[in-house]
Structure 1
Amino acid sequence: MNPMRICLAALIAAGIAPAAQAQQTTLTVYTAFEAEDLQRYKEAFEAENPDISIEWVRDSTGIITAKLLAEKDNPVADAIWGLAASSLLLMKSEGMLEPYAPKGVEALDARFVDTSQPPAWIGLDAWIAALCVNTIELEKTGAPVPASWEDLTRPEYEGMVAMPNPASSGTGFLDVSAWLQMFGEEKGWDYMDRLHKNIAFYTHSGSKPCKDAARGEVPIGVSFAFRGAKSISEGAPLAVVMPSEGSGWDMEAAAIVAGTDFPEEAQRLMDWTVSENAMKQYNVGYAVVATPGIAQPVENYPEGALDAMIENDFEWAANNREQILKEWSARYDSKSEAQ
């Protein structure tokens, strides 16, 4: 338990804490949400829960996952709001999550709810792998716009592709996990060996390859569909391609960290994360949200994205995460950008 919280609890119990402090609870919330969304989510939640404030701890998916695992025996976070479901499945297996069924959970698409009763985690929205192709830069090379994952291994794309490092990026991990599931493990690693020859660099952010492609730093970025749609709306000369073999995907999810000092407040946060207002907030940044019928069309979002989503085995991905990342790092980490 945090020593400062022990002191505050003691003061409150003794009746000598300042009234403002006694009325205000701060939840430490770990997240991998896009940084640009954090203030909007915080303000929307706190407007409906004025006695609770959110203190974000934000980093990329892999780093937040590693931080939570390192703190397993002495947790710092009260809740997780916006981390890949595959990461939360791993934490569930380690007994790190406090099961809770939020109010309104029955309205969610069943794919977005942990199968345990009560659920250990709940999904919020989904992001889908896609290619961000800078059509102007690619035209300069004379190479065609790729239509498939396999196309990216062709020699004309040498040095033209950026993708996320799966050890630090949830988008990178869903790519690697999907290739191993779609192609089989032997063919999946063979595919990545051939793709590696054409990789310019691996990033530590899932959105960065698309942003780099939008700026013309690379012609092709392996990223996710919404980031490409947003870049097009901002004026970037991009085409967003859904590869013909299908696309990996993951959910941003939420959970209560076992051992939190503020279980009731953390439950109220979980209630809000699945509310209609929360889903509308997610829809600003994602085309797919957990509650059916709420999402509005996203400008420039690629057709066929939902149909491209593979049948994703999240349990397999979570159970094999450590082994996959170890193998990937041994083979390909030499091209990763410095952190």
Structure 2
Amino acid sequence: MTVKKSLGRWLAGAAALTASALSFAATELTVYTAFEAEDLKRYKQEFEKRNPDVEINWVRDSTGIVTAKLLAEKENPQADVVWGLAGTSLLILKGEQMLQPYTPVGFDKLSPKFRDNSAEPSWVGLDAWMAGICVNTVEAKKHNLPMPTSWKDLTKPVYKGHIIMPNPASSGTGFLDVSSWLQMFGTEDGWQYMDQLHTNISRYTHSGSKPCKLAAAGETSIGISFAFRGAKEKKKGAPVEIVYPSEGLGWDMESAAILKGTDKLDAAKKLLDFAVSKDAMKMYNKGYAIVAMPGVAQPVEFFPENPEELIIDNNFEWAAQNRKDILKEWTTRYDSKSDPK
């Protein structure tokens, strides 16, 4: 065989290998999320293990920021899929005609309150995160603070300067707190409650988990946060007690949807199919006590045994429709204590 022929065959083989590699190149999905940062690697691995032809590129931020980003990009969407954003946010996007209708495989196995029950479903719920109060028992003892048992306890003068909570404009946890107080106490009494609470707040963070992290680190005595973060900090050994206020707990669901206009619809559908699968539900259940598929959730360490009995009957449609006005009013009243953005 001549050198010329050998080189020709080698080049032909290389070209074939390159073409083969290109034909099996994974489709890259841009996925916007507000999932906890430490969960992203695990969720990506679990999905890609079952779908090696699709690769996830995360774009992560807090709920309010992701929601605002999506709305700003309405005319020129940059995301293919939203996986892990508050259900109230997806209701807003649906109202803006931004979601691609799709009924994923296994949709009928989800609890009705975790799915879009319209004729053409365009979003699905995955799991629920619920409010909770993280109390650093060491700091509370140091400052002679009694253990609170209710939301209204937090307005007592003894707690002044010892409470941190999330800003609802940037944090989904902050918004579920505010919208749930307005639902539980009524609009007038709800704002009056927040006026009193504001007196005791030292600062508002732009992250729902940060108040609990700060309480765990001893940087505040009390952090209004969510139960999942409290359980994680307690598991790490932090001197944190999780309080579930007696009036009831606000909550929201982490949800998923396909963005209208994506040119990667087949890959996006694979992600939605996985997101509501039993395997995914087991994955969410490692941190969340309530998941969308009945009969899957196992007890989570440091969570109460009856989490679904503690959450309020949240009117998600009302919360989504009134979100803009609620945030405007909250910002006018209380934003002076927010962390810099």
| TM > 0.5 fold call | yes
Matches within 5 A, 1:93-104: 93-104=95-106
Match of 1:20 in 2: 21
Match of 2:35 in 1: 33
Give CA deviations for 1:29-79 in whole Å, capped at 9, x if unaligned. 000000000010101101111110000000000000000000001001000
**Once the 2 structures are TM-superposed, how far is the Cα of residue 21 of structure 1 from its aligned partner?**
3.9
Aligned-partner residue type, residue 99 of structure 2: L
1:191 match: secondary structure:
helix
Match of 1:234 in 2: 236
1:277 match: secondary structure:
helix
* Separation of aligned partners in 2, 1:212 and 1:195: 19
Tell me if the contact between 1:242 and 1:305 (Cα under 8 Å) persists in the aligned partners: no
Tell me if the contact between 1:164 and 1:172 (Cα under 8 Å) persists in the aligned partners: yes
Match of 1:173 in 2: 175
Match of 1:278 in 2: 280
2:257 match: secondary structure:
strand
Matches within 5 A, 1:236-315: 236-315=238-317
TM-score relative to the length of structure 1 = 0.93
Aligned-residue identity in percent: 63
Tell me if the contact between 1:25 and 1:51 (Cα under 8 Å) persists in the aligned partners: yes
2:165 match: secondary structure:
strand
1:320 match: secondary structure:
helix
Tell me if the contact between 2:290 and 2:307 (Cα under 8 Å) persists in the aligned partners: no
* Structure 2: gaps spanning 5 or more residues: 1-17
Query: Are 1:332 and 2:334 counterparts?
Result: yes
* Separation of aligned partners in 2, 1:237 and 1:303: 21
* Separation of aligned partners in 2, 1:38 and 1:78: 17
Q: Larger deviation: 144-153 or 305-314?
A: 305-314
* Separation of aligned partners in 1, 2:102 and 2:120: 5
Tell me if the contact between 1:225 and 1:302 (Cα under 8 Å) persists in the aligned partners: no
* Separation of aligned partners in 2, 1:117 and 1:264: 21
* Structure 1: gaps spanning 5 or more residues: 1-16
Tell me if the contact between 1:163 and 1:202 (Cα under 8 Å) persists in the aligned partners: yes
**Once the 2 structures are TM-superposed, how far is the Cα of residue 303 of structure 1 from its aligned partner?**
4.5
Match of 2:12 in 1: none
1:53 match: secondary structure:
strand
* Separation of aligned partners in 1, 2:170 and 2:99: 22
Tell me if the contact between 1:241 and 1:302 (Cα under 8 Å) persists in the aligned partners: no
Aligned-partner residue type, residue 213 of structure 1: A
Give CA deviations for 1:220-251 in whole Å, capped at 9, x if unaligned. 11011111111111101111111011110000
**Once the 2 structures are TM-superposed, how far is the Cα of residue 22 of structure 1 from its aligned partner?**
4.0
* Separation of aligned partners in 1, 2:307 and 2:56: 33
Match of 1:316 in 2: 318
Q: Larger deviation: 65-74 or 230-239?
A: 230-239
Tell me if the contact between 1:29 and 1:56 (Cα under 8 Å) persists in the aligned partners: yes
Query: Are 1:133 and 2:135 counterparts?
Result: yes
* Separation of aligned partners in 2, 1:21 and 1:35: 31
**Structure label with greater radius of gyration:** 2
**Once the 2 structures are TM-superposed, how far is the Cα of residue 302 of structure 1 from its aligned partner?**
3.0
**Once the 2 structures are TM-superposed, how far is the Cα of residue 139 of structure 1 from its aligned partner?**
1.1
* Separation of aligned partners in 2, 1:277 and 1:49: 13
Aligned-partner residue type, residue 222 of structure 2: I
Match of 1:120 in 2: 122
Match of 2:150 in 1: 148
Give the 3 Å change call, closer, same or farther, for CA 21–191 of structure 1 in structure 2.
farther
**Once the 2 structures are TM-superposed, how far is the Cα of residue 265 of structure 1 from its aligned partner?**
1.1
TM-score relative to the length of structure 2 = 0.93
Q: Which runs of 4+ in 1 moved over 4 A?
A: none
* Separation of aligned partners in 2, 1:130 and 1:47: 34
**Once the 2 structures are TM-superposed, how far is the Cα of residue 159 of structure 1 from its aligned partner?**
0.3
* Separation of aligned partners in 2, 1:303 and 1:202: 30
Q: Larger deviation: 163-172 or 280-289?
A: 280-289
Tell me if the contact between 1:108 and 1:291 (Cα under 8 Å) persists in the aligned partners: yes
Tell me if the contact between 1:249 and 1:309 (Cα under 8 Å) persists in the aligned partners: yes
Residue 215 of structure 2, aligned match among 213, 217, 228 = 213
* Separation of aligned partners in 2, 1:273 and 1:142: 46
2:261 match: secondary structure:
coil
**Once the 2 structures are TM-superposed, how far is the Cα of residue 117 of structure 1 from its aligned partner?**
2.2
**Once the 2 structures are TM-superposed, how far is the Cα of residue 20 of structure 1 from its aligned partner?**
3.3
Count of residue pairs the alignment pairs up: 324
* Separation of aligned partners in 2, 1:20 and 1:324: 52
**Once the 2 structures are TM-superposed, how far is the Cα of residue 305 of structure 1 from its aligned partner?**
3.1
* Separation of aligned partners in 2, 1:53 and 1:327: 41
2:286 match: secondary structure:
helix
* Separation of aligned partners in 2, 1:39 and 1:330: 38
* Separation of aligned partners in 1, 2:330 and 2:265: 38
* Separation of aligned partners in 2, 1:122 and 1:249: 16
